[in-house]
């Protein structure tokens, strides 16, 4: 277990079991921010960014085996000579870059102030992603609501309003964007 504020040099990789990332506020409340399951990685940004100070607490949620890699040393040790290390770094760069894209995309939806804005932003992105105005999304209602951080029933209600306004059509997780612009 690592505590928030600890200085870490090692990236963690969950080999078996699972790990919870906890965040505590200044008043002593804490809650689970994420669960890392087998194959998942944690603390990679902190280590690769050279920050070192953990912004969360890492706690095993069950009998867990984790692998720790001193990435700082890997990065520093053989600056140019070793093909393996160069590949590791390149792969890590790719992982971090893709995570950046995911985070930036989600941020774009969530920063919209209304449920309608968040929903349309998300649907618009998905539509472009699939290259069609008719597409399926990988979430059910509850998951979508969590992703956009809104209430499920409020999301359902908003979807109904958009449907009766003629902006979208949907059934289950298949959506179609129509011509009316209601953004």
Residues engaged in binding a second copy (CB under 8 A): 4-5, 23, 25-29, 33, 44-51, 55, 75, 79-83, 85-87, 89-90, 92-94, 96-101, 103-108, 110-113, 120-121, 123-125, 127-128, 133, 149-151, 177, 180-183
Binding at 142: pick from DNA, a second copy, none (beta carbon under 5-8 Å per type): DNA
Is residue 136 within the footprint of DNA (CB under 7 A)?
A: no
CB of 121 to DNA, least distance (A): 12
Q: Which stretch binds DNA (CB under 7 A): 56-64, 97-105, 124-132, 156-164?
A: 156-164
Structure-token match 């699972």, residue found = 18
Binding at 96: pick from a second copy, DNA, none (beta carbon under 5-8 Å per type): a second copy
HEC string for the chain:
CECCCCECCCEEEEEECCEEEEEECCCCCEEEEEEECCCCEECHHHHHCCCCECCCEEEECCCCEEEEECHHHHHHHCCCCCHHHHHHHHHHHHHHHHHHHHHHHHHHHHCCCCHHHHHHHHHHHHHHHHCCCEEECCCCHHHHHHHHCCCHHHHHHHHHHHHHCCCEEEECCEEEECCCCCC
Q: Which of 154, 165, 166, 180 binds DNA (CB under 7 A)?
A: 154
CB of 177 to a second copy, least distance (A): 5
> By the criterion CB under 7 A, which residues form the site for DNA?
113-116, 140-142, 149-151, 153-160, 170, 172-173
């Amino acid at each position: 277990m690592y505590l928030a504020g600890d200085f870490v040099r090692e990236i963690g990789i969950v080999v078996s079991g699972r790990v919870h990332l906890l965040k505590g506020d200044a008043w002593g409340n804490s809650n689970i921010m994420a669960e890392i399951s087998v194959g998942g990685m944690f603390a990679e940004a902190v280590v690769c960014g050279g920050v070192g100070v953990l912004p969360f607490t890492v706690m095993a949620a069950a009998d867990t085996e984790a692998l720790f890699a001193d990435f700082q040393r890997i990065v520093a040790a053989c600056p140019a000579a070793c093909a393996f290390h160069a590949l590791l770094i390149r792969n890590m760069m790719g992982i971090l870059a893709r995570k950046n894209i995911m985070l930036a995309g989600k941020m774009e939806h969530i920063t919209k102030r209304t449920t309608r804005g968040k929903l349309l932003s998300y649907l618009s992105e998905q539509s472009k992603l699939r290259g069609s105005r008719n597409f399926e999304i990988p979430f059910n209602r509850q998951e979508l609501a969590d992703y956009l951080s809104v209430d499920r029933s409020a999301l359902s209600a908003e979807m109904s309003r958009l449907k009766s306004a003629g902006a979208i059509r949907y059934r289950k997780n298949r959506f179609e964007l129509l011509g009316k612009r209601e953004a």
